Structure 1
Amino acid sequence: MKSGTINIKKYLLLLCLIGSSFSACNKFLDTRPEDFVTPENYYNTEADLDRALNGVYNRLIDNFGRMYSRGLYSFLAISDEFFYKNVSVNNLKVMEFDAGQLDVGKLWEVLYQGIDRANLLLENIDKPKMDEKRRAAIKGQALFLRAYYYFVLVDNFGGVPLKLSSTKSPADPALPRASVAAVYDRIVSDMKAAEPMVNDISTYTSNERVTTTAVQAILAKVYLAMAGEPLKDVSKYAEALAYADKVITSAKHSLNPDYSAIFINHSKDINEPQECLWEIGMYGNQQGSQQLAGGVGIENGLESAFDDIGYSNGPVHPTGRIFSLFDAGDKRRDWAIAPYRYGTVNGVTGRVVYTETQIYERTVGKWRREYETQVPKNRLYNSTNFPVIRYADVLLMKAEAENAVNGPVAAAYNAINMVRRRGYGKPVTTPDPTVDLPAGLGKDEFFAALQDERARELCFEGARKHDLIRWGIYVSKMQSLATEINATAPSAWRYAGNAGKNTTARNVLFPIPTTELTINHLVEQNKGW
């Protein structure tokens, strides 16, 4: 997080809605308590609304590490692009778990905490006297965030209880699961309502707030999800195209000419709103009272044994499949997949370069702790932001939706080729036959090329699992990965295929947590769990 920006992490909203300790007072029975926060004595000023909104954002960085501090781009997003080192049995990381799994339960809990905070803010949004444009911006962000939390829920759990009012009492009636279609309808409704309310990104000095183009880009992503599994509403491709085009024609965003600079900027705590439309802001190193640091570049970091460089035991390793998708000339390969580690060999300390055959030994390299500027460096936490949506993703969504609606027309080619050119270090707007997709591809051929390009550009950013599921090929890709690794990987690394070996049709969704089933008897478990 950068000083001088609108800091959503600076304030934590602690709403004590029930329970309080009373000081000794013989009149407590007829005196209204005034020393703790309730909806009745809060939300009276614009500052109150801002702090409440910060509390809604705060659930994106939960202390449990299941959201964007760690889980949603690592152990909760297992796909065919990576595996965890030295994890082979009885673990979520190898897809061997049940409905009592703690991380899955905490993900559900944190998402509903965010929804409840948004509901409470929306119920009190009209209380203070204030500028109506600023009120609308707060309301728009709350609406969007509630919808986004539901998007993560429906993406991971399927149909879920659709709770649109805040919790008033533990005795509130239970809600059954809404259908997947109903949840998506509400997501779209809230996001579309938020679009004209939120501010333009130029209003802020960072990209950690939800802005117009961020809403539009996420709506494009939502519509692509609706066009795929399980709804398969192909009419939504046109909507996805329209919203991707809104972002592109806004001229607010562009590709950073240097792919690696995107991630170096994150590590250096530099905001770059041109490429990154919306980032989850992390802060500090989990020291002191502000517990809002993350693990970007630690959980999924380059292996380093040294605290001064930035420690990571390099738990997340690429599969041979993702490595082989890159051409040698694609500069993204040796940035996304680390070509070295930091260690000591034969008494010499420094970079240890991997050989050409050491594929499975390598780690994720997108965020490298050597570029972090905050000191001292914590072994477990840092302030590196996570990009929820990048402009490259928007261009690839444009190419996919354009191809689905109109076939592989020039606009689809241009969008994907801009991303490819940047990947090879070429000028993004200048046609280059050495890296551009070949002309004359059929619709299916273009789509296959698009699938591979999304894997190359967005690897290790939590997108791959979501993509494979909406394309309806998650299970087949995971199972074929197991076969592939068993046949081609060095014997010491064949356990890397265990997640794929354990994947079945039930793993398209997480189980509804046991904790939820225990307290809500209207909720039924997902198939296979």
Structure 2
Amino acid sequence: MKPSNIKLSPVRKITTLFLLCIFAGSTFTACNKFLDTKPEDFVTPENYYNTEADLDRALNGVYNRLIDNFGRMYSRGLYSFLSMSDEFFYKNITVNNLKVMDFDAGQLDVGKLWEVAYQGIDRANLLLENVDKPKMDEKKRGAIKGQALFLRAYYYFILVDNYGGVPLKLSSTKSPVEPALPRSSVAEVYASILNDMKAAEPLVNDISTYTNNERVTTTAVQAILAKVYLTMAGEPLKDVSKYADALTYVNKVIASGKHSLNPDYSAIFINHSKDINESKECLWEIGMYGNQQGSTQLAGGVGIENGVESPDDNVGYSNGPVHPSARLFNLFAAEDKRRDWNIAPYKYSIVNGVVTKVAYTPAQIYERTAGKWRREYETQVPKNRSYNSTNFPVIRYADVLLMKAEAENAVNGPVAEAYEAINMVRRRGYGKPPATPDATVDLPAGLGKDEFLEAVQDERARELSFEGARKHDLIRWGLYLSKMQSLAAEVAASAPSAWKYSGNAAKNTTARNVLFPIPTTETTINHLAEQNKGW
């Protein structure tokens, strides 16, 4: 258990028992009597969901799908190989791989992301259909219902963000031969997301109710609603009226007074690695637990998939697969402390049998790896090469402030409130007190609306690098294809010859890559699910 944290317990496994009547030494009458006996060890909706504890276990099962054992959700994929953008590339991968955007509708990870999201949705549906069964405190029941509603909506947000319109299923699966559903439109899916999240907002608990931030709470719902509205304001819906709604919800989070910036940027991620609660800065985290050894299967790969290169298990192994693009590195000023935290300035090597920290030279930009979460700070031992208990932050207060700056600018232009929101993030990034104006790092006054938006876009890239935000942002801004194409040209023109392959993902990106294909596993059995354009 993490200090000051209570980890979500593993979902209770629901199994079906198949009874076999063996006739040796028995009569048909005895066998029939045995089969007529009502089984008492089946777990079904009829004999489950009868107590508050049953509802809690079922809710844990809904959360559980955010930590897919195969790494497609927040244990790995959603901040790494499923979020390819202009901020990073994968070392030594050149062809025939999702990591260089060379894949088709049969790609395993694309199919598994779809599958796991719908598993979460089906679990939420089943819980919502049975949440009123037990006798219990109504406020506690409401909190469970609110979390289930939000999580169902959040799984749909992941789906619509990655695949476009998807089948909208709001009731649990009762039979494997249920009729197939066609894809709903993007607008219809977002309408359902808003309906569920807004219904969840008054039901879920305040974050002060818990000793950790792994449960969905009021401010988490509000912050994600702001993100949903900002997305709707951009591509593909382009409903600019939603900027005002986004502003409403970020202002709710700010006015709550529940959250603030950690004055030390690196401390956020060190605390994650040390399993220390970060509920002031981080509104909602995906709670990882253990290292995938034993019966608990809730570990992840934060800082392994995207960590500092190290061959040593005591430091914490990572082969350092995720490398920053030179574009990302050069986006930081040398004085910005986030640069050498987000992008590791060193690696670990074994020199003459001794584990040694080796600094990169100023010219070694492509050699560097992501450094946001560093395994050297992990406290759980022995350290596993593939799994750890480091939480992943879905939404941070810095993100809220940057959404505030963007939405304020869209609605009212670059007014003082928009400037202050982005400048608080910038000051902290340079090691300055977030609330104290500082002319050396604050944005210059007098920026136009478009110039201010560009400043916000760059600031989001710096602040949220390697957190799975960049691809999402570029798509909603309508910049994904152009940014990837320009990166391919930059790499071809200026990268050292040994690193020319680092532009392959960008080079392979075409208009179809704004969305994943509908997986072959879905289109094969659901002939109503039309494929996305270009796939």
TM-score using structure 2 length: 0.97
Which residue of the partner structure matches residue 509 of structure 2?
503
Describe the shift of the 1:22–1:39 C-alpha distance in structure 2 as closer, same or farther (beyond 3 A): farther
Matched residue, 1:490: 496
1:292-441 equivalences under 5 Å are 292-345=298-351, 349-441=355-447
Q: In the alignment, residue 127 of structure 1 is paired with which amino acid?
A: K
Residue of structure 2 in register with 1:124 after alignment: 130
Change (3 A) 1:3 1:512: same
User: 1:11 — aligned with what?
Assistant: 10
1:459-470 → structure 2 map (5 Å cutoff): 459-470=465-476
Partner of 2:81: 75
Q: CA deviation at 1:36?
A: 2.1
Residue matched to 1:51: 57
Q: Is the alpha carbon distance of 1:328 and 1:405 closer, same or farther for their aligned partners in structure 2, counting shifts above 3 Å? A: same
Residue aligning to 1:210: 216
Deviation string 1:489-527 (CA, Å, 9 cap, x unpaired) is 111001000000000000000000000001111110000
- Conserved? CA contact 1:282–1:384, under 8 Å: yes
1:345–1:352 CA contact under 8 A, matched in 2: no
Check the 8 A contact 2:428/2:434 in 1, yes or no. yes
* 32-41 or 389-398, which deviates more: 32-41
Aligned to 1:20: 18
On the 8 A contact 2:76/2:305 being kept in 1, the answer is: yes
| Residue equivalent to 1:137 | 143
Q: Cα deviation per residue 1:165-219 (whole Å; 9 max; x = unaligned)?
A: 0000001111000000000000000000000000000000000000000000000
- SS at 1:494 equivalent: helix
Cα distance per residue 1:232-280 (max 9 Å; x no partner) = 0000000000000000000000000000000000000001100000000
Give the drift of 1:347: 6.0
CA distance in 1, matches of 2:283, 2:231: 19
Contact between 2:404 and 2:418, CA under 8 Å: does it hold in 1?
yes
Q: Which residue of 1 aligns with 2:250?
A: 244
Which residue of 2 is the match for residue 261 of structure 1? 267
**2:188 counterpart (165, 174, 182):** 182
| Cα deviation code 1:446-476 (max 9, x no counterpart) | 0000000000000000000000000001011
- Find the aligned partners of 1:15 and 1:120 in 2 and give their Cα distance: 13
Structure 2, gaps ≥5 residues long: 23-29
* Cα root mean square deviation, aligned: 1.1
Report the counterpart of residue 230 of structure 2 in structure 1: 224
Q: 2:457 aligned with 1:457, yes or no?
A: no
After TM superposition, the structure 1 stretch with the greater mean CA deviation from structure 2, 346-355 or 22-31, is: 22-31
Q: 1:276 aligns with which of 282, 301, 305?
A: 282
Q: Name the SS of the counterpart of 2:524 in structure 1.
A: helix
SS at match of 2:215: coil
Shift of 1:138: 0.1
User: Which amino acid letter does the alignment assign opposite residue 471 of structure 1?
Assistant: W
Q: Match for residue 201 of structure 1?
A: 207
Q: Any conservation in 1 of the 2:120–2:152 contact (CA below 8 Å)?
A: yes
- Residue 31, structure 1, aligned to residue 42, structure 2: no
Q: Is the 8 A contact 2:224 2:395 kept in 1?
A: yes
Deviation of 1:348 after TM superposition, in Å, equals 5.5
Asked whether the 8 Å contact 2:17–2:42 carries over to 1, the reply is no
Q: Distance in 2 between matches of 1:23 and 1:250?
A: 62
CA distance in 1, matches of 2:60, 2:317: 30
| 2:10–2:297 Cα contact (<8 Å) kept | no
Aligned to 2:148, what secondary structure does the other structure show? helix
Q: What is the alpha-carbon distance in structure 2 between the residues aligned to residue 91 and residue 32 of structure 1?
A: 52
Residue in structure 2 matched with residue 513 of structure 1 by the alignment: 519
Q: How does 1:78-89 map to 2 (within 5 A)?
A: 78-89=84-95
Instruction: Give 1:291 deviation, angstroms.
Output: 1.1
Measured in 1, the distance between the counterparts of 2:524 and 2:34 equals: 37
- Distance in 2 between the 1:320 and 1:241 partners? 33
- The Cα of 1:345 is off from its aligned counterpart by 4.0
Matched letter for residue 191 of structure 2: D
Structure 1 SS opposite 2:66: helix
CA distance in 2, matches of 1:434, 1:21: 74
Alignment partners' CA distance in 1, 2:43 and 2:80 = 36
Once residues 94 and 474 of structure 2 are traced to their aligned partners in structure 1, the CA distance between those partners, rounded to angstroms, is 23
Would the aligned equivalents of 2:69 and 2:297 in 1 still touch at CA under 8 Å?
A: yes
The Cα shift of 1:346 comes to 6.1
The answer for the alignment partner of 1:2 in structure 2 is 2
The code of the aligned residue for 1:81 comes to E
In the TM superposition, residue 28 of structure 1 has moved relative to its aligned partner by 3.9
Q: CA separation of 1:197/1:490 partners in 2, compared to 1, >3 Å: closer, same or farther?
A: same
Tell me the alpha carbon deviations over residues 477-499 of structure 1, each in whole angstroms, 9 at most, x when there is no partner. 01111110111111100100000
Distance 1:67 1:351, change over 3 A: same
Structure 1 distance, partners of 2:355, 2:47, is: 59
Q: Check the 8 A contact 2:204/2:216 in 1, yes or no.
A: yes
Q: 1:347 to 1:127 in 2, by over 3 A?
A: closer
Distance 1:4 1:431, change over 3 A: closer
Alpha-carbon distance between aligned partners in 1 of 2:69 and 2:351, rounded to the nearest angstrom: 37
Task: Report the CA distance between 1:21 and its aligned residue.
Answer: 4.0
5+ unaligned residues in a row in structure 1: which ranges?
none
Instruction: Say whether the 8 Å CA contact 1:161–1:176 is kept in structure 2.
Output: yes
Question: CA separation in 2, counterparts of 1:323 and 1:235?
Answer: 35
1: distance between equivalents of 2:282 and 2:448? 31
- 1:173 equivalent among 148, 172, 179: 179
In structure 2, do the counterparts of structure 1 residues 233 and 109 end up closer, same or farther at CA, with 3 Å as the change threshold? same
Give me the whole-angstrom Cα distance separating, in 2, the residues matched to 1:100 and 1:229: 26
SS in structure 2 opposite 1:317?
strand
Aligned pair count reads 527
